[in-house]
Structure 1
Amino acid sequence: MRFALMVSTIVLVVLLGTCHGCLEHERNALLQLFSYFANGSSYIPNTADCCHWRFPDFYEGALGKLPLSECALKPTCSCYHNIFVDCNDTAGRVTDLVLDFMIGDLYLNTSLFLPFKGLRNLELTGLEIVGFAENEGFHKLSKLKNLESLDLSCNRLSIVSSEGLCELRHLRSLSLSNNDLNGSLPWCLANMTFLQNLDLSYNQISGDISFSPIKNLTSIQWLDVSWNRFKVPIPLALFFNHSRLRYLDVRENELYAQREVKDLSPKFQLETLLMSSPVKNATYPEFLYHQHSLREVNLSHIQFVGEFPYWLLENNTDLETLLLSNNSLSGPLQLPIYPHVSLSTLDISRNSIHGHIPSEFGERFPQLTNLNMSTNALNDSIPSSFGMLTALTVLDLSNNKLCGGIEEGLFMNMKTLYFLNLGGNQISGNIPDSLSHLFYLNVLDISHNNLSGHIPEGIGSLSSLQILDLSKNNLSGHIPEGIGSLSSLQILDLSKNNLSGPLPTNFCLPQMSQLKLSNNKLFGSLTEVFCDCRSLITLDLGHNHFTSNIPDWIHRCSQLKFLLLSHNNLQGKIPIQLCALDQLNLIDLSNNNLLGRILPCLRAGSNSVEAIITLSEEQRPLEFTEKNLSQIYQASILKYISGIDLSCNNLTGEIPPEIGNLSKIQVLNLSYNSLTGPIPVMFVNLKQIESLDLSYNKLYGQIPSQLTELTFLSAFSVAHNNLSGVTPAQNFQFATFNESSYEGNPLLCGKPLPKRCDDREPSSLSMPRTEEESKEDNGFMDMEAFYVSFLVSHVMVLLVIAAVLYINPYWRRLCFAFIEATTSNFYYFLLDHLPLLSKFGLS
């Protein structure tokens, strides 16, 4: 009975001592705090007990209406609002307070947190804090004796030392990541001897980390100083006394080599080591040989020399992730003696490892889920033991020298494989039908090999496939109808094969953004094939045998940026619907049988910055002719290039002056057509033009002298036209063009042509002048012709008179009587006037 009474008393005391809710003064302090952050709003949450306040309680209130910050530009920062309050179950005091939403240019008042005496964890992330109110620095928080964790990440703090942070000596966890901190760390941080977790990543802090206060923080267990400007010695000797250190991230700083201290081994046993940034002729640091607890290692981009560190796997049997990409590793691939069952991710890409892949590879790493061995010099065939890697989700063996065929059952048991890249090798034979059983496959790339035979019909069953690249092989036959049922397909590249036949009727897929079928033997009409491909960004059908007109439905592809239809047998006029595509960057319709005029509304080269930013990272390279050279442009260049190529067609009429408004265009090729008229003066507005080819047309008139203002022009040709006058002045870029740019224009003169211009001939003549026009400009008659015509006319008159007198006697008698009378009168005239003339001395 006494025992039961004692138990009842204890239970009653416990129940009475338990607080069911937060303290009233802390609840009021929270409301005041939220009002401060919500710009004075007095919103009251639905739940009375502040110990259970969460963000949804505020979502419809003032806090929920705050705009999101530009968090996407800050790595590791959340793009969502978050409010979280937690209390001690017995005392009812607030112990955890999380505020994560954007305020904008906030100067923090730390006194608002002083009422929370039991506060242990304070997170003020993403508030855009730029500083502190007057006399309201970190030193005020030192009064919170229970505060152990402070997170101020994703703000805009720029200084640390002057705000009293070092007074928080009792902190165990501090995060200042994703701020604007710069300069060196204040030495007073060395007094924070209880600190176990320190995150300074994504700032601009500088200085040699060997001479920073971090060297004295020997209680540190978790340290992240990545993405700063620290100088970090690769041997990491400064951390040798940090016996509790388990996690170290020094990526994207300035690593440098340092002489190793002999017989000095570290006291720590790391579990995670993340290092990067290039160091010339770097070798593996000595401390790595003493590590036995590693689980994650990233030593990418350091340029380590030597062989594959198989000993790292033998010494660390729990190692799960090993990343060694972009180093200078060489030699054959040597594996650990015993199977390593813990390794799930191995990346040795972009090295110089050569030789064959060991036949026992699959036996050594049976639990691999991610394997990347791309861009090395591995040769021979893929070993059959790869069939034991049943847990693989990612396999990348691209850009090696692998040869032989793909075994039929090699990938049969990789049921979870979603990324397979074997491109850029020398693999031959047929594509195995077993690939059709990889139902989770998202990416299949076997391009740049020597594969032959047909494309398996079973590929149409890969319903999850998003990228299919079989380009640059020797595949033949038709394109399987089943590809039209791949509803998730976004990128299809079958270019540079020997595929033939018409395109499947159901070829248009709703998600398809890139379609490359160039350099095959495909034929047929394009009239109804792609009419509903509204997501297309790239359409490359060049170098085939397609006929018919360019379809009118082309305007439905409103996202189209790259339209390449060259080297086909397309006919008819350029459809006016093409003008509705305002996102086009490249248009290549060359080497077809197109006729009619060039559309004045045709455009290429977006002025929008967004068009550059939104170009997919998976954009496939494209082939385009510039400066008379066919070049392959990678995605990084395609973002910035724009051009129009209508060469080698039957286009007529004048060049529309509106083409001169394409101020962003870099390539314009209208050669080998029948264009007439002058070169538009508005071409002077093509400020970004690099290649301009108007050769082999029927253009006439002068070459506009203003073209010399095109300072980026590096390839120019107006050869074989009917141009006249003086060539443009040999200034700027035009001083680099030789005679071949102007040849075939007999009426052109001036450098660099051998023909000099005659100063008497006006240079403004646009057409050759007739002989009659030249005579009129001389101002007098041809005297030789005058004398001949005068003599002939008088002879004719005399002959006519003689003939009349001979035929008619009456007129003859009258003529002789007239002559006789005239002679008598002249005789008597002289007799009467001679005496008078003699008086004046004239006789």
Structure 2
Amino acid sequence: MRISPFSCIFFNSYLVAAFFSIHAVSVSGQCRSDQGRLLLELKNTFNSNSTSSGKLATWDQTTDCCSWDGVACDAAGLVIRLDLSNQSISGVMNDSSSLFCLQHLRQLDLSYNKLVHAFPSAFDKLENLSFLNLSNAGFTGQIPAAISSMTKLVCLDLSVSSLLGRSLKLEKPNLEMLVRNLTKLQFLHLDGVNITARGNEWCQTVSSLTDLQVLSMSNCFLSGPIDSSLSKLRSLSVIRLDNNNLSASVPQFFAAFSNLTSLRLSTAGLSGRLPEEVLQIPTLQILDLSKNELLEGSFQEFPLNASLQTLRLSDTKFGGKLPESIGNLGQLTRIELASCNFSGTIPKTVRNLTRLVYLDFSNNNFFGPLPSFSWSRNLTHINLGSNQLNGSIHSTDWSALSNLVSIDLQNNTLSGNIPPTLFGIPSLQKIFLSQNLFNGSLGDLHGETTFLLDTLDLSSNKLQGQFPMSVFELQGLKILTMSSNNFSGYIQWNDIQKLRNLSSLDLSYNNLFIDATSTDSAVSSFPNITTLKLASCNLKQFPGFLKTQLRLNHLDLSKNQISGEIPSWVWEFRSLDYLNLSQNFLTKFERPLQNITSSLIVVDLHGNQLQGQIDHISPHVSYLDYSRNNFSSILPPDIGDFLQFAYFFSLSGNNLQGGIPRSICKGSYLRVLDLSNNSLSGQIPECLIQMSVFVGVLNLRRNNLCGNIPDTFPVNCSLQTLDLNRNLLQGKVPKSLVNCKKLEVLDLGNNQVNDTFPCHLKNITRLRVLVLRANRFNGKMHCSEKAPWPMLQIVDLSSNSFSGTLHETCLLTWKAMQVVEDETLSELNHLRFEVLKFRPFYYQDAITVTMKGLELELLKILTVFTSIDISCNNFQGPIPEVIGTFKALYVLNFSHNALTGLMPSSLGNLSQLESLDLSSNNLHGEIPIQLAELNFLFIS
């Protein structure tokens, strides 16, 4: 950020007066000839033009040099002030420059130019300078020791912006050597200079400048902690130390700076708790502590007539409630509390903040109604997104906010209709109201916002009625997102084409019929379109205009009725990285995918009728889903060559045959590999098991794979799901599977595994699903030591040869079945694998269970669903009374065993039970009356 030269002289009345008279001629009215000559020599060393260097254009030897723009003289005709700031001057300024002969200069400003050269060392010749501003002048390298000889300096600004690609450093001399003689300094700006100093070093150095009023050293590679020696600087008015790594707390003594007006410490690695007294400093106007993720604090009471104008605390651990006294901040123009831990209602007293321009309370836990902002008529930005606000938004007279530029209320639970007055604000450019409960229909949106509104996002609400065709009259729109509502209607593509400035369009998941049959590249192109999402829009064909959209990078036409071929031009977009054509009626590619030029990263073609061989897509693809098609070939031997960057690959639900090529193990980034529901045969390659170092989901269910499960699971196994159900696998449960400590789902059902109960897996504490059904397991379901499986929610041991009694010690460790989860919450909680942490994408686990006498496939495993099935074994003895503690059970099947004794009365405690089968045993006694209400009860 540019440091204005005014910051150096703001508190010095003499310098202020001098600066504002910088264009005045000398009192004598005549420039000394040597001064004019030196200035012209200086001009001739610069490269400039009259447009960007307007001041130099007035420098002409035919006029008095004291009248030249940027020049001021004293009564003797000596140049004492020179201001050439922001003139786009380039060239070389070395130690022989005529500038250094102007030895009567008191103020020099060369800031914001392009003098790209090493820092000159002759500044010590300008010994009378009290004001020196070289910020972003273009100089690079080491700051010379000559600066330290300028003992009359009151203001020194050597700041540099990294955005301009230039760098300065203080090494030899270092900071201490630079300022040791500058005892008169009041204003010090070194932002962006590489100082690299520890806290005690730079603090003690700066503390020697006892008259210092402004300390600005942001982005200087400073470390902490902040030394107490800084407390000596009682005159400090401005402290700016942002973008350093101070790794410290905010010192208590900062609150004692009675003249402090600005404290900026954002992105400084601060931790601990902010002293409450800092917020009480009566002179404080600017407080910026944002982006210090470990900094804690809360608001107490704000004093009357507080001076705060800017308050920025976003991305910290500040929290608690906003006090009613926030209304005392009558001078406040900007408040940013985003991504903190604030909660409670937003006080109605915010209406007192009549000077407010910018408000951001997003990503907190505020709840309750939206306060009225009708009196804050200077507001340009309102962001209350991602909270828990509810009710309508009619409390504000939106027509009164004539300066509003952006409103963001997304991801709350706001309801009611959207006020038409919101669309009548003439200055409004962006509206974000997505992920709420707004309902009703939208009227005519074509108003004064027509040309300025560039973003409209009303997605994921309950809006209904006819789609508002007037939205296509908002010709300034660049982003239009209306997806996931209940709009209905018929839209001709010719209506959409009116929005010529569109870069992103999403009309997905409504009840719309979009007719794209008349589109062609000549009349329907969008020159700036990058994102097009028309999922579930009843499209019958590919819109013809698409083939000319060279900037397109995201295309989603899923869940439509498009049939026939996938056109070749789809693969020719060089910028396209996301393609979703899933759940259509596509049958084949127009031509084989060879030598394609696209840079596709995500390709989703699942749920079509594609057939033939598996074609290569792109060597850059990261997500590839070919599942639920009709591919019937073998897997290409070189399939791994186009999976080298893939993290998700699914061919599930095709008719693929043959073995699994070893080349698939080249996919060293794979997190999910799903080859289930095919006719693959042969053995599981050992390298595939060894890939579980990084693979989280390996799904090979419903194939014809044979042989033993390779016993090569690595020590650092990352598997969360291993599904080998319905194959022809033999042998034993691999001993090395114990290495998979993250395993949640283990499904070996419907194979020919011949083993005993897998007690060696007892330390996999995350296990939730254990399916061993229909194998050749035998022996007791009991381990010599307690099996710690507290998370188990589904156990299926049916159709094996297990024997012995049911031990309470084993059952008691299954804690998840003994706690009833909140069912409303559990609808959102199901077993899933997070494929990528930085992108919200999950793989859903599925499983087959026997419930109410029928085999059901659960496509999502809710964490609330719990089941025990040990049917069709040889278990003996009584049913343990402890079974009555399994209050979360939905399904219990003990049928077809040799269980004896009384039916436990504790079964009546299973209030969640929906299916109970105890048939084909030798039980007797009364059936608990509570079981009479079951939907399915089979006891015979």
Partner of 1:720 in structure 2?
A: 920
Q: Does 1:598 align with 2:781?
A: yes
| Equivalent residue letter for 2:555 | L
Please give the TM-score of this superposition, normalised by the length of structure 2. Answer: 0.64
Partner of 1:341 in structure 2?
A: 527
Contact 2:833-2:843 within 8 A present in 1 as well: yes
| Equivalent residue letter for 1:103 | E
Q: Following superposition of structure 1 onto structure 2, how do residues 556-635 of structure 1 map, counting pairs within 5 Å? A: 556-600=739-783, 601=786, 603=789, 604-605=792-793, 607=815, 616=834, 618-627=842-851, 628-635=853-860
Change (3 A) 1:669 1:190: closer
Contact 1:240-1:268 within 8 A present in 2 as well: no
| Equivalent residue letter for 1:238 | T
Note the C-alpha offset of 1:300: 1.4
Counterparts of 1:473 and 1:104, CA distance in 2? 57
Partner of 1:470 in structure 2?
A: 651
| Equivalent residue letter for 1:629 | L
Change (3 A) 1:355 1:618: same
Please give the TM-score of this superposition, normalised by the length of structure 1. Answer: 0.71
Name which of 128, 142, 146 aligns with 2:318.
Answer: 128
Counterparts of 2:330 and 2:226, CA distance in 1? 25
Partner of 1:485 in structure 2?
A: 666
Name which of 98, 104, 113 aligns with 2:288.
Answer: 98
Change (3 A) 1:397 1:736: closer
Name which of 258, 262, 285 aligns with 2:468.
Answer: 285
| Equivalent residue letter for 1:597 | K
- Structure number with greater Rg is 1
Counterparts of 1:258 and 1:705, CA distance in 2? 56
SS at match of 2:646: coil
Note the C-alpha offset of 1:371: 0.9
Name which of 430, 433, 443 aligns with 2:623.
Answer: 443
SS at match of 2:399: helix
Counterparts of 1:207 and 1:521, CA distance in 2? 57
Q: Following superposition of structure 1 onto structure 2, how do residues 52-201 of structure 1 map, counting pairs within 5 Å? A: 52-56=240-244, 58-62=246-250, 97-100=287-290, 101=292, 102-107=295-300, 109=302, 114=307, 121-125=310-314, 126=316, 128=318, 130=320, 137-142=326-331, 148-154=333-339, 156=342, 158=344, 163=349, 165-179=350-364, 189-201=373-385
Counterparts of 1:447 and 1:263, CA distance in 2? 44
Name which of 309, 314, 335 aligns with 2:497.
Answer: 314
Q: Does 1:732 align with 2:931?
A: yes
Counterparts of 1:418 and 1:667, CA distance in 2? 39
| Equivalent residue letter for 2:488 | V
Equivalent pairs counted in the alignment come to 668
CA RMSD of aligned residues (A): 3.9
SS at match of 1:385: helix
Partner of 2:100 in structure 1?
A: none
Partner of 2:909 in structure 1?
A: 709
Counterparts of 1:377 and 1:494, CA distance in 2? 26
Contact 1:313-1:319 within 8 A present in 2 as well: no
| Equivalent residue letter for 1:468 | F
Note the C-alpha offset of 1:554: 2.1
Counterparts of 1:493 and 1:95, CA distance in 2? 58
Counterparts of 2:506 and 2:458, CA distance in 1? 10
C-alpha deviations, 1:476-507, integer Å up to 9, x for none? 01001011222111111111111000111211
Note the C-alpha offset of 1:181: 5.3
Name which of 77, 81, 100 aligns with 1:10.
Answer: 81
Counterparts of 1:29 and 1:422, CA distance in 2? 61
Note the C-alpha offset of 1:555: 1.3
Change (3 A) 1:545 1:232: same
SS at match of 1:330: strand
Q: Following superposition of structure 1 onto structure 2, how do residues 764-783 of structure 1 map, counting pairs within 5 Å? A: none
C-alpha deviations, 1:774-805, integer Å up to 9, x for none? xxxxxxxxxxxxxxxxxxxxxxxxxxxxxxxx
Counterparts of 1:489 and 1:29, CA distance in 2? 54
SS at match of 2:718: coil
Contact 1:220-1:245 within 8 A present in 2 as well: yes
Contact 1:208-1:232 within 8 A present in 2 as well: yes
Counterparts of 1:725 and 1:289, CA distance in 2? 73
Change (3 A) 1:149 1:449: same
| Equivalent residue letter for 2:501 | D
Counterparts of 1:678 and 1:276, CA distance in 2? 57
Identify unmatched segments of 5+ residues in structure 2.
1-31, 37-64, 72-78, 83-104, 109-129, 133-154, 157-185, 189-208, 217-224, 253-265, 275-282, 794-813, 835-840
C-alpha deviations, 1:41-82, integer Å up to 9, x for none? 985679989554125353234579xxxxxxxxxxxxx99957
Change (3 A) 1:273 1:505: same
Contact 2:246-2:270 within 8 A present in 1 as well: no
Counterparts of 2:570 and 2:311, CA distance in 1? 50
Name which of 677, 680, 685 aligns with 2:880.
Answer: 680
Partner of 1:741 in structure 2?
A: 939
Counterparts of 1:477 and 1:577, CA distance in 2? 33
Counterparts of 2:889 and 2:684, CA distance in 1? 36
| Equivalent residue letter for 1:345 | T
Note the C-alpha offset of 1:160: 5.6
Contact 1:507-1:529 within 8 A present in 2 as well: no
Counterparts of 2:391 and 2:886, CA distance in 1? 48
Contact 1:339-1:363 within 8 A present in 2 as well: no
Partner of 1:303 in structure 2?
A: 486
C-alpha deviations, 1:256-279, integer Å up to 9, x for none? 445846996656531111113444
Counterparts of 2:391 and 2:473, CA distance in 1? 28
Note the C-alpha offset of 1:422: 0.4
Identify unmatched segments of 5+ residues in structure 1.
32-39, 65-77, 85-92, 642-665, 743-843
Note the C-alpha offset of 1:714: 2.9
Note the C-alpha offset of 1:430: 0.9
Counterparts of 1:231 and 1:278, CA distance in 2? 9
Counterparts of 2:361 and 2:722, CA distance in 1? 47
Q: Does 1:356 align with 2:541?
A: yes
| Equivalent residue letter for 2:863 | K
Counterparts of 1:47 and 1:468, CA distance in 2? 64
| Equivalent residue letter for 2:80 | T
Note the C-alpha offset of 1:376: 2.2
More helix by share: 1
SS at match of 1:590: coil
Contact 2:558-2:584 within 8 A present in 1 as well: yes
Partner of 1:521 in structure 2?
A: 704
C-alpha deviations, 1:404-451, integer Å up to 9, x for none? 34731278211x21111100111111111x32xx22211111000111
Structure 1 window deviating more from structure 2 (6-15 vs 447-456): it is: 6-15
Counterparts of 1:632 and 1:63, CA distance in 2? 61
Counterparts of 1:129 and 1:99, CA distance in 2? 14
Change (3 A) 1:586 1:170: closer
| Equivalent residue letter for 1:105 | S
Note the C-alpha offset of 1:621: 3.3
Change (3 A) 1:572 1:321: same
| Equivalent residue letter for 1:98 | D
Contact 1:574-1:594 within 8 A present in 2 as well: yes
Partner of 1:35 in structure 2?
A: none
Counterparts of 1:318 and 1:131, CA distance in 2? 43
Note the C-alpha offset of 1:26: 11
Contact 1:551-1:575 within 8 A present in 2 as well: no
Partner of 2:40 in structure 1?
A: none
Q: Does 1:454 align with 2:634?
A: yes
Q: Following superposition of structure 1 onto structure 2, how do residues 797-836 of structure 1 map, counting pairs within 5 Å? A: none
Change (3 A) 1:701 1:54: same
SS at match of 2:505: strand
Counterparts of 1:149 and 1:694, CA distance in 2? 66
